[in-house]
Amino acid sequence: MVVSPRYLRGNPSDKQFSNAVELAERAKIYCFGAEQEVGFFHEYRAGVDWVFVDHPSYHRPGTPYGDTFGAFGDNQFRFTLLCHAACEAPLVLPLGGFNYGEKCLFLANDWHAGLVPVLLAAKYRPYGVYKDARSLVVIHNLAHQGVEPAATYSNFGLPQGWYKALEWVFPTWARTHALDPGEAVNVLKSAIVTADRIVTVSQGYSWEITTPEGGYGLNELLSSRKIVISGITNGIDGNEWDPSTDEHLPCHYSIHDLSAKVQCKIALQKELGLPVRSDCPLIGFIGRLDYQKGVDIILTGIPELLQDDVQFVMLGSGEKQYEDWMRQLEEVYKDKFRGWVGFNVPISHRITAGCDILVMPSRFEPCGLNQLYAMRYGTIPVVHSTGGLRDTVQTFDPYAKEGSGEGTGWAFSPLSKESLLATLRIAVGTYKEHKPSWEGLMKRGMERDSSWDKAATQYEQVFEWAFIDPPYAG
């Protein structure tokens, strides 16, 4: 069973719920000082029960978390409601004529579902419900923790004695003024305390979150629970991301016949208005335009990089300063640079296929998907050596295996303009002067197994481990 809010945005994306049927069952939930009522919609799709929690707070334009003005002010309410409803769903919904029952494994993603492990321990187990259930929390990005003022604890609908599970005190330097006690509640912290197992989205990130640099204040707590932490790299959808069948590409290619990849490059150059030069290295970036993604490193290095014989294309949206910077660079380097402000799924596929190199200088990256897409499409990733990027991109060694070479790209460190430019120039030099080595890089990346089947096998092992020990009891 997958439980998610029924997000209605008043746009074509609402069609994704068109096959979901409203159920007669409703749940009354006590939180935020009053009784709240939610409905449920159900769709059985591809062998999975999809349950959509319905409430007016999920009906608004924007993303699940906010809009152009920032994060929604009632997110604590919206996701508290989701967590309560997710705990009720296996008990009250007769899907296929039967309830799922109490022996469940709850997999809670990030702080938004982080109350689920706490609710199991505080609201249900004391009354003999869910005594055989277990919970996992999956951390996709530790920087987002669901922190709110301590006075909002009563909103969660938890017994008063469970405040310590959510208690959070900001360090002195992070407080707003000298008299600020820094007291808060932290939803993700409570999930880390009460979950039976913890999973991160790469092996490298599972270590990084236990360090002061990557732990965002939770490193000591996570270190104390490192015996139950596992790192599993996300998979990609091999049907959506397949250069031999991709509906967004002008022509198709595969590991057995790479000849059409250059045609994708030429088509991309024409579409973006760049000079059509099949021999010119085309470098791409796809992602959010913000500090985490290292966009400032790219943009400060672009003027020097474009002195070389290369072309560069960027796709993304985010901070206005970076969007404006992209527009300005396009004006200055009309024959070498294109910046597409916004996000467009078809063009992201065409950039992934048409570029020779994809750059990802993220300051931290729990998993990263674009480097996996790039390798699947025979595009060589150049990444900062951090988190999931370090786990998935093996730096090219031309002398390995008796000169046949190994590796799927380049991972550089430290994170600096100089290091990025030096690595890109090595990649460009390999592209121009060592074609057999470049083809080997492409094919090794395309051969890499980045499927969800591989990740699912690892998750199943963690599920087994979760049931070995007794559940968290407080």
| DSSP assignments along 424-472, one per residue | HHHHHHHHHH-HHHHHHHHHHHHHS--BHHHHHHHHHHHHHHHTTSPPP
Secondary structure element (H or E) that encloses residue 322, with its range: helix 320-332
DSSP state of 279: T
pLDDT score for 321: 93
Q: Could you give the CA distance from residue 55 to residue 36 in angstroms, rounded to a whole number?
A: 9
Report the 10 Å Cβ neighbour count for 146. Answer: 23
Question: Angle 104-153-1 (CA atoms, 0-180°, nearest 5)?
Answer: 20
- Condensed to tens digits (0 to 9), the pLDDT of residues 168-193 reads 998 888 888 888 889 999 999 999 99
Identity of residue 155:
N
pLDDT score for 70: 87
Instruction: Identify the residue whose tokens are 């063009």.
Output: 347
As a whole number of Å, the end-to-end CA separation of the chain is 27
Instruction: For domain 261-450, give its CATH number from 3.40.630.10, 3.40.190.10, 1.10.3720.10, 3.40.50.2000.
Output: 3.40.50.2000
Report the 10 Å Cβ neighbour count for 128. Answer: 8
Do the beta carbons of residue 212 and residue 398 sit within 8 Å?
no
- pTM, entire model: 0.90
pLDDT score for 402: 66
Residues of the chain with pLDDT under 50: none
pLDDT score for 403: 62
- Condensed to tens digits (0 to 9), the pLDDT of residues 233-252 reads 999 999 999 999 999 999 99
Which value, in Å, is the radius of gyration of the alpha carbons in the chain? 24
Q: Which residues are CB-neighbours of 458 under 8 A, at least 6 positions away?
A: 230, 232
Do the beta carbons of residue 415 and residue 294 sit within 8 Å?
yes
Secondary structure element (H or E) that encloses residue 189, with its range: helix 187-194
Do the beta carbons of residue 472 and residue 121 sit within 8 Å?
yes
φ, ψ of residue 421 in degrees (nearest 5): -65, -40
Q: Structure tokens of 48?
A: 């999975």
Q: Where in the chain is the domain with CATH 3.40.50.2000?
A: 2-236+454-466, 261-450
Half-sphere exposure of 133 (CA within 13 A, CB side): 26
pLDDT score for 43: 96
Do the beta carbons of residue 425 and residue 308 sit within 8 Å?
yes
Q: Structure tokens of 271?
A: 């579409």
**CATH code assigned to 2-236+454-466:** 3.40.50.2000
pLDDT score for 178: 84
Q: Structure tokens of 459?
A: 């998750």
Q: Structure tokens of 275?
A: 């000079």
- Which of 326, 287, 294 lies closest to 413, judged by CA? 294
